[in-house]
Structure 1
Amino acid sequence: MPWSVRWVGGCGAQSQKQCKKSSFAFYQAVRDLLPVWFLEDMRTMEVFHWEDGGKVSVYSPSEALLYALVHDHQPYARHLLTKFPQSALAVPSQSFSCCQSAPHLAMAVRYNRVRVLFRILKAIQALPPSDRAAHLDRQGCSRVEGGKTALHTACELVRPECLLLLLGHGASPCLQDSAGNTPLDTLLQQISHMPAANMRAKLLCLDCLFFFVPQDLKFAMKQQLLDNRQQWQDLLGDNRFQCLVGLAPPSLFVRAMRVLIRTISPEHFPEALDNLPLPHFLKPLDLKLES
């Protein structure tokens, strides 16, 4: 089998070559969705990768989880998050991430792995409060990711399910990226792109944000909305526009939803949404996820 490899000790080119072969074998095994027990045997006993500086290292649960995210290996992700809830979300080596922070949330959003994202968020809720905030509001590398949080990425890629899960588990909608943009700014930029593709999903993301952002949120795009009033009214509708620029208070529905959502603790989100007094057509997101 192509993944059945052994690492040969040593510090020379032969060792590095063998590590590359071993590393690809593990990647291939996760990609092929091989059984969890087999992947864990590989990871812990015979698979190594070559780090910067000439260090040979076994794959950590954190690095294995990144592979599981990329290839949507849900059983393996579930195993790693259940058995290693802290180390699976730890900072990976520099071979996997250029900045010293854990990129798992952003990676889950980027690949739209909604079910794995849900499990990661549940694992984060079990961490101490300070660690929880560090994961939820982690800002990516300023050079590569522009200082974006996972919420920024969900808005940029228009991922309504990911956005609502992040907000419901406590991710902040007020943080700015390296360019000074909040997630709301990022979403408005996507809405303004022509042609107006995927507009229903974009407006759905905007409505989700309405339920969580503070009424006095300062955002960079506000003046642009005011300067191009007719264009933005056509894009957003009059009610959304008036509320965004502060010309009218939020609708009674939005205010009621803000109160209701505050009654849901992150530990019970999104399951508790089913208990909110909402008509069916106001629950368009497929968030019936396994706990």
Structure 2
Amino acid sequence: MPWSVRWVGGCGAQSQKQCKKSSFAFYQAVRDLLPVWFLEDMRTMEAFHWEDGGKVSVYSPSEALLYALVHDHQPYARHLLTKFPQSALAVPSQSFSCCQSAPHLAMAVRYNRVRVLFRILKAVQALPPGDRAAHLDRQGCSRVEGGKTALHMACELVRPECLLLLLGHGAAPCLRDSAGNTPLDTLLQQISHMPAANMRAKLLCLDCLFFFVPQDLKFAMKQQLLDNRQQWQDLLGENRFQCLVGLAPPSLFVGAMRVLIRTISPEHFPEALDNLPLPHFLKPLDLKLES
């Protein structure tokens, strides 16, 4: 709860300076992975924000979770999501972030925090359907993030574990960013970068997308694939290329996986992957995550 700046010293400049010191001290404490009880005492007893109108306030659970994500403080993230399941995923204050939407999923993908992402997705599943979709399909501001969703970011940064978790928990695979690109377009742009690097992970991301996108998906780069057929066949392999541009149906494996994965509810993803009637080497990813 905000309080008057006079409470912390009476001088606006001094209060602003104290807020900056407290904020940096909290940043260091999370970075150093200090105990949860210490961080929560610090968060609820210190002033971190300088608000309009001469007010200061503490960090919210949502803002604390962003710090936990950046520094991979998994016990603190678990505590915040367990004790504050809704407010930990709320929109940060304007003094903390200029983008007025909850960026936690995108932040987890950016820093490749797979385990914390998993916990966030489980917390999102407990929200009402409308709020759930707003989190899963949240598009970043066009000025800073180009309207990208967390799925776009997983494709851009080539994060196969993050990509599969998002898809399995219901993230929409066909949304377009500010440039009109679907996540598939974003991934194909990464695959086309020369020299080819990290190609195994890129193709793994592509295979994961195949399991969730509709067969008739319209994507911006389709004509480019057709115009440079040999180049893309070399990059993707003939079967993937033919399927992508609609010259051949999906393989039996892809068709079977699409059917099987649809039988798994988000509440049981990815644990239920272990129960699929497939040999281990045919399963898309080995995600061993604690609930």
SS in 2 for 1:6: helix
Note closer, same or farther for the CA distance 1:196–1:109 as it changes in structure 2 (3 Å cut): same
SS in 2 for 1:243: helix
Note closer, same or farther for the CA distance 1:240–1:41 as it changes in structure 2 (3 Å cut): same
State the 1:52 CA deviation.
5.8
SS in 2 for 1:166: helix
CA contact 2:208–2:284 (8 Å) conserved in 1: no
Note closer, same or farther for the CA distance 1:11–1:133 as it changes in structure 2 (3 Å cut): farther
Distance 1:11 1:262 in 2: 60
CA contact 1:181–1:220 (8 Å) conserved in 2: yes
Q: Which moved more, 1:150-159 or 1:11-20?
A: 11-20
Note closer, same or farther for the CA distance 1:3–1:279 as it changes in structure 2 (3 Å cut): farther
Note closer, same or farther for the CA distance 1:286–1:178 as it changes in structure 2 (3 Å cut): same
Note the residue ranges of structure 2 that are not aligned, 5 or more in a row: none
CA contact 2:158–2:201 (8 Å) conserved in 1: yes
Note the residue ranges of structure 1 that are not aligned, 5 or more in a row: none
Q: Which moved more, 1:38-47 or 1:131-140?
A: 38-47
State the 1:200 CA deviation.
0.2
1:64-121 deviation per Cα after TM superposition (whole angstroms, max 9, x unaligned): 0000000000000000000000000000012332221000000000000000000000
Note closer, same or farther for the CA distance 1:12–1:5 as it changes in structure 2 (3 Å cut): closer
1:127-159 deviation per Cα after TM superposition (whole angstroms, max 9, x unaligned): 000000000000001000000000000000000
Note closer, same or farther for the CA distance 1:201–1:15 as it changes in structure 2 (3 Å cut): same
State the 1:9 CA deviation.
3.9
Distance 2:215 2:37 in 1: 49
SS in 1 for 2:4: coil
Note closer, same or farther for the CA distance 1:67–1:160 as it changes in structure 2 (3 Å cut): same
State the 1:283 CA deviation.
3.1
Q: Which moved more, 1:252-261 or 1:10-19?
A: 10-19
Q: Which moved more, 1:274-283 or 1:236-245?
A: 274-283
Note closer, same or farther for the CA distance 1:191–1:31 as it changes in structure 2 (3 Å cut): same
Residue number in structure 2 paired with 1:133: 133
Residue number in structure 1 paired with 2:173: 173
CA contact 1:222–1:245 (8 Å) conserved in 2: yes
Note closer, same or farther for the CA distance 1:96–1:2 as it changes in structure 2 (3 Å cut): closer
Query: What is the identity percentage for the equivalent residue pairs of Structure 1 and Structure 2?
Result: 97
Note closer, same or farther for the CA distance 1:4–1:287 as it changes in structure 2 (3 Å cut): farther
Note closer, same or farther for the CA distance 1:201–1:12 as it changes in structure 2 (3 Å cut): same
Note closer, same or farther for the CA distance 1:240–1:27 as it changes in structure 2 (3 Å cut): same
CA contact 2:152–2:186 (8 Å) conserved in 1: yes
Distance 2:197 2:52 in 1: 42
CA contact 1:22–1:49 (8 Å) conserved in 2: no
Residue number in structure 1 paired with 2:217: 217
Residue number in structure 1 paired with 2:17: 17
Note closer, same or farther for the CA distance 1:246–1:58 as it changes in structure 2 (3 Å cut): same
CA contact 2:156–2:190 (8 Å) conserved in 1: yes
CA contact 2:108–2:117 (8 Å) conserved in 1: yes
Distance 1:41 1:145 in 2: 33
Note closer, same or farther for the CA distance 1:11–1:176 as it changes in structure 2 (3 Å cut): farther
Note closer, same or farther for the CA distance 1:68–1:223 as it changes in structure 2 (3 Å cut): same
Note closer, same or farther for the CA distance 1:3–1:93 as it changes in structure 2 (3 Å cut): closer
Residue number in structure 2 paired with 1:158: 158
Asked if residue 280 in structure 1 is aligned to residue 280 in structure 2, the reply is yes
Note closer, same or farther for the CA distance 1:7–1:17 as it changes in structure 2 (3 Å cut): farther
Distance 1:148 1:54 in 2: 35
State the 1:48 CA deviation.
2.3
Distance 1:253 1:111 in 2: 32
* Count of matched residue positions in the alignment of Structure 1 and Structure 2: 291
CA contact 1:185–1:220 (8 Å) conserved in 2: yes
CA contact 1:26–1:47 (8 Å) conserved in 2: no
CA contact 2:74–2:116 (8 Å) conserved in 1: yes
Note closer, same or farther for the CA distance 1:55–1:2 as it changes in structure 2 (3 Å cut): closer
State the 1:35 CA deviation.
0.2
Residue number in structure 1 paired with 2:61: 61
1:244-282 deviation per Cα after TM superposition (whole angstroms, max 9, x unaligned): 000001111111110000000000000000000122222
Distance 2:200 2:96 in 1: 35
